[in-house]
Amino acid sequence: MLPVTLSSDRVRLDLPIRSDTAAITAACQDPDVVRWTTVPTPYTEQHARTFLDALVGPGWASDREYTWAIRRTGSTWLEGVVSFRTEHRDLGFWLAPSARGAGLMHEAVDLVVRWAFSQGAADVYWECYEGNTASASVARSAGFSFTGTGPARIPARDGAPTTAWTGLRRADGVPASALPWPDASFRDGGVVR
């Protein structure tokens, strides 16, 4: 598939490109991004270039993973990344510290989920490592139902199994579960796996 641009009044999602290398590298130094994702650590500009060249373009071309840069409307600066992986119809995302708390990730996730539904997805799956309340807050506010705690699909950085919180948002709008979210004190953040 050719890359698709999605937008709202506050956020624009488009293809991450080589000029985003510095922004990606800077954001991936953040302790929360390191803690809750599997980005290499320490993260270098070469890692960002490899991400752009080996994952982003080939992901779109193979219909395996669609990755967008998150930018504020009217800006060219990359604030974060959101992706939709087609095999399990799941999301992954992270947001730079300077952009957190503004609702950008919520809008970005909602745009991607609505786009996935328009492409025929019956549902979209979300997971984060157990304890990542920022990611859970985004999923919850984007209409996902909490579906439980269990083994993560993606192992920890060292390859070891780990535990994840999971959620599902269905295209038909019917809640996937009546389970309560694990922590009522979620903040509107944006670091996820």
Work out the pLDDT band at 81, boundaries 50, 70, 90. very high
Q: What was the pLDDT predicted at 185?
A: 52
The answer to whether residues 132 and 95 touch, using CB atoms and an 8 Å cutoff, is no
- Give 53's DSSP letter: I
Instruction: State which CATH number among 3.30.450.40, 3.40.630.30, 3.40.1080.10, 2.40.50.100 fits the domain covering 6-170.
Output: 3.40.630.30
Read off the pLDDT of residues 43-54 as tens digits, 9 standing for 90 and up: 999 999 999 999
- Torsion-angle region of 120 (φ positive above 0: left; ψ -120 to 50: alpha; else: beta): left
Domain locations in the chain? 6-170
What mean pLDDT is predicted for residues 100-124? 97
Q: What was the pLDDT predicted at 189?
A: 44
- Torsion-angle region of 87 (φ positive above 0: left; ψ -120 to 50: alpha; else: beta): alpha
Q: Is 85 exposed, middle or buried (0-12, 13-18, 19+ CB in 10 A)?
A: middle
User: pTM for the full model?
Assistant: 0.92
Q: What was the pLDDT predicted at 190?
A: 45
What mean pLDDT is predicted for residues 54-77? 97
Read off the pLDDT of residues 143-154 as tens digits, 9 standing for 90 and up: 999 999 999 999
